[in-house]
Structure 1
Amino acid sequence: MRYKGMLTLQNAFGKHLLFTNTWTSGVLMAIGDICEQEIEFQRKILSTRYDWGRIGRMFLTGLLFGPVHHYFYAWMDKRIPHRSVKFVTQKILLDQIIMSPVCIVLFFYSMGALEGRPSKETTIEMKEKFIPIYVVDWSIWPPTQFINFYYLPVKYQVLYINAVTMVYNVYLSFMKHKNMPLEIIES
């Protein structure tokens, strides 16, 4: 039985890696939002404990991020295969300068579309929240990515990032949903 479980795990991080990365990204994005909603409920910001529609939107947005990260990390590893500090620093800079802004924009526009909001409204929201999110991004991701790129094999990099992202998603969910009209939050 233990052997069968190991085969399943090897398949998840082998031939089914894209599927695994996609689903873990969606699930962990949803868990991050559940944690943020629990905080909001405890602080009496939300009148009900969980908005399952909001959790679903975060899950779907997470599903979108899985393949993006999967292919980006695979591309980076082929382009910069070495694990020296110099090359890891190059990967971190690529991640922060390319992937981070892309992911922030992708997050806001995918959430806005799933909420049925006009793109103009999403653009205004993103302009207001982009810089604070990007600053926090720079404080969290370079050390996280150093561990990721220096120590972990590529097949575990998205899982590791998803695990750290779950905590980061609490912040991202907070930033996304702060200062929203009550009727949007409760829908």
Structure 2
Amino acid sequence: MSFFIIRAQAFSKKYPLTRGMAVYAVIWPVSCLCQQVIAGNKQLDYAQAGRFCLFGCFFVAPTLHTWLTLARSMWPAMNIRTAIIKAVLEQVTYTPLAYACFFFGMTLLEGRGVKQATTEVKAKFLPTYKVGASVWPVIQTINYTFVPERNRVPFVGMCSFLWTCFLAYMKQLDIQKLAAKQVLV
């Protein structure tokens, strides 16, 4: 067993993206299943969890890894000022694209068309972004200030466990009900 662990550590050190991909391949579907349990679903939707696994592993982890690598090269200092700059920039650059791609991509993975995916993005993007803007800058400031570079994507992955439960909740919301709630607010 220790041979496997040593080989896995060497592989992840040589190919750091794989650490994030492994974390997201587990956390995203588990978060989806947790959200289903919290929602009181009598039967778990494993196909939906599989879609979360694919999206988390093959889209979120690579794009987040790329963003973190770019942010590190542009602002290499690990101090509170630089961390806040990175966190704010992430909220106005990476995050909007990530949320739009999440709703659009997951809808396409469900086998629904581009029109339905576009409608879902229009209905769910802003409410999701508002919540995320109140949570992620704090998490990312901690990440950029205290977490070593090699552990940033896995750290964000762990933090995203609860966030992904929220995304799964937002994903399952009925668009008409969500639109009605927005009109009342």
Q: 2:138 maps to what in 1?
A: 143
Normalising by the residue count of structure 1, what TM-score does the alignment of the two structures yield? 0.86
Q: d(CA) in 1 for partners of 2:151 and 2:4?
A: 17
How big is the shift at 1:9?
Answer: 5.9
Aligned match of 2:129 in 130, 134, 137? 134
* Identical counterparts, % of pairs: 27
- Structure 2 unaligned blocks of 5 or more: 177-185
How big is the shift at 1:180?
Answer: 6.9
Q: 2:17 maps to what in 1?
A: 18
For residues 139 and 12 of structure 1, do their structure 2 counterparts lie closer, same or farther at Cα, with a shift above 3 Å needed? farther
- What SS does the aligned partner of 2:14 have? coil
What do residues 35-86 of structure 1 show as CA deviations (whole Å, max 9, x unaligned)?
0011122xxxx341x1111110111110111111111101110111012222
Q: d(CA) in 1 for partners of 2:11 and 2:156?
A: 16
Aligned match of 1:61 in 18, 31, 55? 55
24-33 or 9-18, which moves further after superposition? 9-18
Aligned match of 1:51 in 23, 45, 54? 45
- Please tell me whether residue 125 in structure 1 is matched to residue 120 in structure 2: yes
After superposition, residues 25-44 of structure 1 pair within 5 angstroms as 25-41=24-40
What do residues 91-145 of structure 1 show as CA deviations (whole Å, max 9, x unaligned)?
1112111111111011111101110111111111111111110011011101101
Q: 1:184 maps to what in 2?
A: none
- Please tell me whether residue 108 in structure 1 is matched to residue 103 in structure 2: yes
Q: 1:168 maps to what in 2?
A: 163
Q: d(CA) in 2 for partners of 1:117 and 1:87?
A: 41
Runs of 4+ in 1 over 6 A off after TM superposition: none
1:13–1:156 contact (8 Å) kept in structure 2: no
Q: 1:71 maps to what in 2?
A: 66
How big is the shift at 1:23?
Answer: 2.0
Normalising by the residue count of structure 2, what TM-score does the alignment of the two structures yield? 0.87
2:107–2:113 contact (8 Å) kept in structure 1: yes
Alignment-mate amino acid for residue 14 of structure 1? K
Q: 1:96 maps to what in 2?
A: 91
1:84–1:150 contact (8 Å) kept in structure 2: yes
- Please tell me whether residue 84 in structure 1 is matched to residue 79 in structure 2: yes
